[in-house]
Amino acid sequence: MRVAVVHDRPCARRSLEALLDGAGHRVLWTAADGLEAARRCAEARPDLLVLGWSGAGGQGPGEVAALVEAVGCPVLVVASSLDRDAPWVFQAMGAGALDAVPLPDACRPGAEGGAELLHRLRTLETLVAGPRPPPARARPELPGALLALGASTGGPRALAVILRGLGLDLRVPVVVVQHVDAQFAGELADWLRKQSGLPVRLAEEGEPPVAGTVLLAGRDAHLRLDPRGRLRYGPEPREEVYRPSVNVFFESLATHWPGSGVAVLLTGMGRDGARGLLALRRRGFHTIAEHASTCAVYGMPRAAVELGAAAEVLPLPRIAEAVRQALLRCQERHRLGRARRELGSVRS
């Protein structure tokens, strides 16, 4: 893969270039700042830009986000410190960066951490190729309500907009699968909680979806719902490119969730989530895909639209209200069904 490296520390640029060259990637160029990177991208656009920074040059989150938008190619963020760099990382991902990984020890080539960066590059290279998954089977509708959200590139910003728009009075379980490295998942949950005012935390092994709480997949493993309605993490299926996979979670809902609900597939590269969204639509969920006009990358929603998986295709500012209305309809159907069952038992 043809890659470029941007970092304000010379030793980091040299180390990253050596690591990428040694793994068989072609490093087109390196740059020390955003202006140089934008100019070099216009001259020779890479397949992927590896972007890191130390903050010594004084650049803030806005400058980093502007660079991600300006270069016009996929971006992978490498962060030196999870705590210090979290605002920059999520601004960059909100602007369209594909993913974020910890920066290997920049001044010691071959130090621990390089394998994780190279693994993520292989994952992104596979995503660009765009494997096409098979369709899923239908499931019958059952009463109840849950909101499931899936996202990748640009997802943090989109998730914040939707969660903020839901309001604090909508007491349904919410489960989010966002493509993000597990080391950043806790920081993302904290950031979404501050942005939305809702209780957001990482999903724990063996717990059920919790009404009024937003649970975020928080491991480098697939999240799924088991037959008892509990959330489980696991490595299978190994052929899914991303861990956690939106498809795996959505399909587990279609199989095991004892009710209906709403599922939303947001901005992202590749096709993850499209097959699962179709399974949920057939199962009776109300399904929504983000419109191309507001996507950082119109990949995953496009795949869902092509499969006929989305009952609605909406720009980001309209999704929260559509979700609220659909969930209210689900809850009303659940109340009516329960009343009919209770009336029937009385008459008998």
Catalogue the active-site residues: 152, 179, 272
Buried b (16+ CB within 10 A) or exposed e, 220-253: bbbbbbeeeeebbbeeeeeebbbbbbbbbbbbbb
Give the span between the Cα atoms of 307 and 138, in whole angstroms: 14
DSSP string over 235-259 = ---TT-SSSS-HHHHHHHHHHH-SS
60 token code pair: 């803030």
Pair of tokens at residue 87: 């605002």
- Nearest-angstrom CA–CA distance, 13 and 3: 12
Query: What amino acid occupies position 318?
Result: R
- Amino acid symbol at 339: A
| Helices marked H in the chain | 10-22, 34-43, 61-71, 82-94, 114-129, 155-166, 182-196, 246-256, 274-283, 300-307, 316-347
- CA 121/CA 101 separation, integer angstroms: 10
Backbone angles phi, psi at 91, to 5 degrees: -65, -45
If we measure between CA atoms, which residue out of 72, 67, 70 comes closest to residue 91? Answer: 67
Contacts (Cβ under 8 Å, ≥6 apart) of 69: 95, 96
- Between CA 283 and CA 279 the distance in angstroms is 6
For residue 211, the 8-state DSSP code is: B
